[in-house]
């Protein structure tokens, strides 16, 4: 069997208590859990203030995982710590600094985060994402953004080193660092040693990248892994993957997805170019087995954390399906044998 720790990011179980969420993951055959501690979304499964202040609370908290036979595989504080929005950037940066302190005290080695996106210039009110700087003015924007990002991440790198923690950047569009090559440029420019990559293939898939080539290129700079799939849809034929045809934030507050305080996600297009799907819905189990073999060549004991964001399945059904397929892929990766799933999702 694989030495991987197969876990899940519990954000998809935000309406369950921690104890209930851990029961769900254990019953799905998983061995770990990744919890949110700040950034875009709240922290329903981790009382950060209490844990920072009390060793007894930390012992009790870790005991909840141990009692279920699970490990706390990582913390997550994905957000935009470089945003010029005054209610986003400073808060997300504060969350990340506290996450580093908390991870060190809990003995958790990995924090998933994002590189962030500053504004285009010192007077900018909103973050800016430069996609293709063919016009030289956008290289000027990038130079300014790097002047903001680089000292910030050098500071965070030092904090992480002092705490014995690794920071794993999600290569997520709308961030300064969103590709393997971009990460390597960033690492060479800043000299960071404790800031690596969260290998989430889903974001690279819709950008048209070769996932296995990306793993080989990044090598031991991969510090954490997210298991999430992407399906390219017929809409890509005329929309392309850089699609701006999103709708406004829903008028009904109950339908909104928060990205921080009074900011929310746009409405997804009715005919999108791509969407995030459960493991196996975009790439089959054998593809995922090969993915895990590639990861094993870098870290045979990696934390592999399911991130369930497929709206076509319920919380529990989607997570169960993903866990079943990821476990089958891990078995195939370890044994070299194709695993046939004989149980349908009921």
What digits encode the pLDDT tens for the residues 334-343?
Answer: 998 776 665 4
Nearest-angstrom CA–CA distance, 263 and 87: 9
Specify the DSSP element, H or E, that contains 253.
none
The yes-or-no verdict on residue 268 having pLDDT over 80 is: no
The per-residue pLDDT for 221 is 98
Hey, which bits of 212-307 come out as E strands?
Answer: 222-227, 229-232, 258-260, 263-264, 274-277, 303-306
CB atoms under 10 Å from CB of 115, counted, come to 24
Tokens of 263: 């900011």
Phi-psi region for residue 240, left (φ > 0), alpha (ψ -120 to 50) or beta? Answer: left
The domain locations on the chain are: 5-335
**For the chain, what is the mean pLDDT?**
94
Tokens of 65: 């995982």
CB atoms under 10 Å from CB of 103, counted, come to 24
The per-residue pLDDT for 340 is 65
The yes-or-no verdict on residue 32 having pLDDT over 90 is: yes
Nearest-angstrom CA–CA distance, 328 and 323: 8
For 16-36, what is the mean pLDDT? 98
The per-residue pLDDT for 261 is 57
- CATH, domain range 5-335: 3.20.20.150
Hey, which bits of the chain come out as E strands?
Answer: 5-9, 32-36, 71-76, 110-113, 166-170, 195-199, 222-227, 229-232, 258-260, 263-264, 274-277, 303-306
Tell me the pLDDT band of 299, cut-offs 50, 70 and 90. very high
The per-residue pLDDT for 120 is 98
Tell me the pLDDT band of 258, cut-offs 50, 70 and 90. low
């Amino acid at each position: 069997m694989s030495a991987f720790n197969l876990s899940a990011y519990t954000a998809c179980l935000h309406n369950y208590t921690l104890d209930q969420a851990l029961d769900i993951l254990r019953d799905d055959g998983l061995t770990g859990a990744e919890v949110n501690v700040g950034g875009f979304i709240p922290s329903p499964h981790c009382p950060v203030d209490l844990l920072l202040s009390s060793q007894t609370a930390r012992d009790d908290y870790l005991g909840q995982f141990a009692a279920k036979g699970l490990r706390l595989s990582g913390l997550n504080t994905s957000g935009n710590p470089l945003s010029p929005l005054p209610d986003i950037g400073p808060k997300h940066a504060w969350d990340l600094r506290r996450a580093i302190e908390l991870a060190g005290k809990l003995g958790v080695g990995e924090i998933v985060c994002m590189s962030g996106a500053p504004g285009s210039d010192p007077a900018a009110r909103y973050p800016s994402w430069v996609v293709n700087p063919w016009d030289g003015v956008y290289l000027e924007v990038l130079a300014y953004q790097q002047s903001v990002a680089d000292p910030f991440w050098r500071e965070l790198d030092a904090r992480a080193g002092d705490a014995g923690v690794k920071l794993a950047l999600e290569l997520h569009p709308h961030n300064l660092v969103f590709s393997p090559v971009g990460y390597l440029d960033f690492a060479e420019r800043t000299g960071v040693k404790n800031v690596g990559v969260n290998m989430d293939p889903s974001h690279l898939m819709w950008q048209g990248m070769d996932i296995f080539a990306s793993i080989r290129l990044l090598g031991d700079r991969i510090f954490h892994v997210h298991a999430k799939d992407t399906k390219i849809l017929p809409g890509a034929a005329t929309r392309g993957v850089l699609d701006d045809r999103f709708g406004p934030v829903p008028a009904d507050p109950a339908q909104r997805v928060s990205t921080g305080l009074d900011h929310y996600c746009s409405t997804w297009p009715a005919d999108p170019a791509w969407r995030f799907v459960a493991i196996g819905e975009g790439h089959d189990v054998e593809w995922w087995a090969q993915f895990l073999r590639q990861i094993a060549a870098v870290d045979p004991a990696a934390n592999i954390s399911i991130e369930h964001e497929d709206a076509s399945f319920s919380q529990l059904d989607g997570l169960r399906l993903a866990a079943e397929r990821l476990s089958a892929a891990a078995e195939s990766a370890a044994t070299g044998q194709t695993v046939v799933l004989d149980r349908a999702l009921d």
